[in-house]
Each structure stands twice: as structure tokens, then as C-alpha cells.
Copies of this chain bind each other. A is one copy, B any other.
Amino acid sequence: MTDALPFAGEPEDSHEAIMRATFCALQEHGYAGLSIQRIADEADLSKSTFYHHFDGKEDLLLSFLEFTLEEFDRVFKLESSGDPAKDLRTFFGLLLGDFPTAGGMPEQEDILATYVELRAQAVRNPDFRAKFTETDREFTARIAALVEEGIEDGVFRDVDPERTAQFLLTTLEGITLQNATRDDNPLPELRTAIESYMESELLVADSADS
């Protein structure tokens, strides 16, 4: 998988085939309807091959979260330009599902909805909670690095990068939650809101149109 599209082309190995099948099965059946059998069917693998890779559903989903983070990083690296303001917008866009999806794969909206369903499992499952804590921290670190770069370049104000990053990630997660659980399509307006936050809090005045 070397394409800019997540899950484009043929899977390179059975691990990737299982990740892809998990993605499709989650989308089709939801968290509650996810079963090893359904994933094995989707990936065209036997259940024994599946259990060669994973201990069970939870182990699989923790791997799946890991895989998703790696995919995110891979696509972000391909799309980043070296301009911190532009890259920050690209990063936010990717978090909100701005990537073309490969044919036959779930749509962006559905990917965000699946994220919310998985994240809600962390309420009662300590391993999921540990994993989402880790991914939140990694995302915060990536956003903070972009903010820091922008401050050094003189395009961002002298804010606290870590705190700003945490606030932004929290708001982006709130957007994802609302978008997946409301029926009035709040995404476009919320994107505008986060853009105005960037303009008023982050960008120095004379680079606001950069």
C-alpha cells in the first residue's frame, strides 16, 4: 500500500487484508455486530489464519487503531507542504475525513462514525482507554509541533503550543462526535468555526490570508 489513498490497491499481506476487512465489517455491521467470522469472510481468510494473527476481537481492534494511526501519518506526510499554517489545515482536514476513499471502501462520513463507535467502547474498556489516551497524546504532539514551527516562522502568535494543540484536538473530536450523532449536518459550519479560531487565536494579523 504505497498510494495516497488509505486502503487503495491490493492489500500487501494478510495483516493488511484483515485491517481492511475490519474497516469494512465495522462500517457494515457496527461495533455491536462485528464478529471474527464476519471479518474472516470479508477478508476471504479462514478463522484459523485470523487467530494466527490475533487473540480475539479486542486484540484485533487495538491493532486496528494502531494501523489507522500509521495510515493517518503516512497520508499526512504525503500531503504536507512545509508551510505550518497550510499543514495545520491539512492535518485538521484529515482528522475530519478530508481524503478521497478508494473504490468499494467506506465513505468519509462513515469512517468518522466508526471512530465515534470505537471511541465510546473506551468508556468501559481500560485497554481501549489506554489506546485512545496514547493516540490523543500523539495527535496533540503532532499539532503542537506544527504550532511551534509556525511560531518560529513568525506566522503564528506566541501561544503555548501544547495547550493550543490540546484545545484544538478536543474541539476536533467534538466536531467528529457531533457530526456522527446529529442529523442536520453540522460539519460545514463547524469547519468555519475552527477556521475563525485559527484566524483570531493563532495567525499573526498580516499572514491571516496566507
**Within the complex, which residue of B30, B113, B117, B171 is in contact with A174, where a contact is CB–CB below 8 Å?**
B171
- C-alpha gap A123/B171 in the complex (Å): 19
Contacts of A113 in B (CB 8 A): 123
Contacts of A120 in B (CB 8 A): 116-117, 119-120, 181
Contacts of A32 in B (CB 8 A): 32
**What is the minimal beta-carbon distance from A75 to any residue of chain B, in angstroms?**
23
The answer to whether A166 and B182 touch across the interface, beta carbons within 8 angstroms, is: no
Give the number of times this chain occurs in the complex, counting copies. Answer: 2
Main SS of the interface on chain A?
helix
Quick one: CB contact mask for A164-186 with B, threshold 8 Å, 1 for yes? 00110111111101101111101
- C-alpha gap A178/B128 in the complex (Å): 12
**Within the complex, which residue of B166, B172, B181 is in contact with A119, where a contact is CB–CB below 8 Å?**
B181
Contacts of A71 in B (CB 8 A): none
Contacts of A119 in B (CB 8 A): 120, 177, 181
The answer to whether B183 and A166 touch across the interface, beta carbons within 8 angstroms, is: no
The answer to whether A133 and B184 touch across the interface, beta carbons within 8 angstroms, is: yes
Those 3 A-B pairs whose CB atoms lie nearest each other, nearest first: A174-B174, A120-B120, A122-B181
Interface on A for B, CB 8 Å cutoff?
Answer: 30, 32, 113, 116-117, 119-120, 122-124, 126, 128-130, 132-133, 136-137, 163, 166-167, 169-175, 177-178, 180-184, 186, 189-190, 192-194, 196-197, 200-201
Cβ contacts A to B, 20 pairs, < 8 Å: A32-B32, A113-B123, A119-B120, A122-B182, A130-B183, A132-B182, A133-B182, A133-B184, A136-B186, A137-B184, A163-B189, A166-B189, A166-B190, A170-B175, A170-B178, A171-B174, A174-B174, A174-B175, A177-B177, A201-B201
